[in-house]
Amino acid sequence: MAPGALIAAYSEDDSGSLRALIPIAGRTLLEYQVRCAAAAGAAPIVVVVERIPIALNEVLQGLQQEGLPVVTVGDAAEASSRFEAGELILLIADGLAPSPELLAGIVEEQEPVIVTVADDEGHSKFERIDGVSRWSGVALVDSQMVGATAAMLGDWDLQSTLLRRALQSGARTVPIAASAGEPLLAEKPEDLADLERRLFVASRGSRRDWASRYILPHVEEFATEKLVESRVRPAMLVQSALLLSLGSVVAFALGWRWVGLVLLVLTTPLPLIARRLASLRLTPMPARSLAKRLLWPAAGLAVIALGWWQSENGSGWGALVAALAAAAFAEAARIEREKLEFPGEIWLVSRRNAILAALPFAAFNAWTGYLVALAVYAGVSFFVVQHVNHRIGTELTER
């Protein structure tokens, strides 16, 4: 059974604001905590907060509107009533920025456990447990322990009291795994600066074509930094890319070739930016997104529309045949390639590569030449992927 989660959000930072509202990668620390807990499968996620300022209320409402199982309570007694008897609860300390890997690992435990860090200078902000270790800010406790603690809490701090009672009841302590990532305890925004930079770097993901690896990184970085603090949803960017692609189909069919090409060029960074925003917000995009799946067919239609216009305006039927061949080979290469990864794959045809490759041809008004070159490019890419697939299949058979 997936555990619930209990997050403390009542301590203030140096400026008198709640630690839960410290910004990190375009959101608040509380949003990061809740999304990490939700990604680990925790439900419900109970946030203990003594007072709810307007900013925190907006954060909580936004999380609830997204469908996250967030519940706000004012004290320990109310918190204990939100969990079922015998349920394990993921405890996250006030102001803690845990790694998703740390939470994902601890929720797999079947009994109460307390994750510790070394008692050294680098962890001086963490609460000491004994002479050699401190509390990492993450633990798995029994719901009955929360109820018993609430009954005798008084003016004591909830998370510290829970920690002490869990230790007294024999909860197992385990040192944090090296692969789990180092948790950070924030008292001011500067404490999360390094984590924020790591999150931005980690969100880059793989770049499987030369366009995204060599041409678009600066655009992607700039746009991500500007949009991460906005309310723009990743799905909106992918949908915008699809609408721009369909607009290019119309533009090419009407002979507005530069307009069509500009619309296509504008689509090239949008899915990359959407993926990074989704990663930073810990809200993975649906694997079967309809808008995302339609980007390739829409780009293929744009190429065919360009070929049709060229064939009707002086280039003859060869332009349309080249466009049809380019679209067919590119789609076949995409299907054959799928999740296959191998050295040199960035030079094969992709939607972004095909679009940006049109720019030098368009500069010399060689639109039909572009279609022919694209057909050759897509055809070669298809046969290269076929060859790699065949070689891998042969090696597996020989084994």
Single out the residue in 133, 161, 194 at which a domain terminates. Answer: 194
- Check residue 168 and give left, alpha or beta (phi > 0: left; psi -120 to 50: alpha): alpha
What is the SS3 string spanning 381-397? Answer: HHHHHHHHHHHHHHHHH
Distance between CA atoms of residues 331 and 296, nearest Å:
8
> Do residue 309 and residue 240 come from a single domain?
yes
Whether 303 maps to a domain, the answer reads yes
Q: Which of 194, 222, 253 is the last residue of a domain?
A: 194
Mean pLDDT by 10 residues, the chain (399 residues): 84 80 88 91 90 87 88 84 86 91 88 91 88 90 80 69 86 86 85 82 83 94 89 92 97 97 97 91 78 94 97 93 96 86 90 97 96 97 90 70
Shared-domain flag, residues 137 and 160:
yes
Amino acid in the structure at residue 221: E
Closest CA to 290 of 235, 350, 336, 208: 235
One-letter amino acid of 138: V
Indicate which CATH number applies to the domain containing 90.
3.90.550.10
174/114 Cα distance (integer angstroms):
6
Q: Are strands 96-97 and 184-185 parallel, antiparallel or unpaired?
A: antiparallel
Task: Quote the pLDDT of residue 241.
Answer: 97
Cβ atoms of 299 and 351 within 8 Å: the answer is yes
Cα–Cα nearest to 103, from 130, 76, 138: 138
Are residue 212 and residue 121 in the same domain, yes or no?
A: no
What's the pLDDT score for residue 330? 95
Q: Are residues 77 and 158 in the same domain?
A: yes
| pLDDT at residue 153, as a whole number | 59
Same domain for 188 and 229, yes or no, is no
Find all residues with CB under 8 Å of 54, minimum gap 6, and list them.
none
**pTM (2 decimals)?**
0.81
Q: Is residue 201 part of a domain?
A: no
**Residue 22: which of 195, 191, 189 has the closest Cα?**
189
Same domain, 324 and 178: no
**214 shares its domain with 159:** no
Cβ burial of 395 (10 Å; 0-12, 13-18, 19+) is exposed
Matching residue, tokens 């050699």: 132
Q: What whole-number distance in Å separates Cα of residue 382 and Cα of residue 312?
A: 29
Q: For residue 200, is it within any domain?
A: no
DSSP 3-state of 130: coil
- Among 194, 224, 247, which residue terminates a domain? 194
The answer to whether 138 and 113 are in contact (CB under 8 A) is: no
Residue 5: strand pairing partners: 45, 90
Specify whether 130 is located in the same domain as 214: no
75 shares a domain with 190 = yes
104 located within any domain: yes
Provide the residue range defining the domain that includes 137: 4-194
59 within domain boundaries? yes
- 202 located within any domain: no
Cα–Cα nearest to 39, from 106, 135, 115, 103: 103
CATH number of the domain enclosing 234: 1.20.120.1760
Q: Report yes or no on 11 lying in a domain.
A: yes
DSSP state of 101: H
**Contacts with 308 (C-beta within 8 Å, 6 or more apart), sequence order:** 252, 253, 319, 320, 323
Q: How far apart are CA 355 and CA 211, in angstroms?
A: 9
Domain total of the chain: 2
* Residue 99 within any structural domain of the chain: yes
Contacts of 307 (CB under 8 A, 6+ apart): 319, 320, 321, 322, 323, 324, 371
The sheet with strand 70-73 has its strands ordered as 70-73, 45-48, 4-8, 88-92, 133-142, 113-118, 172-175
* CA 76/CA 51 separation, integer angstroms: 14
Q: Do 31 and 171 have their domain in common?
A: yes
Q: Are residues 211 and 178 in the same domain?
A: no
Pair (182, 136) in one structural domain: yes
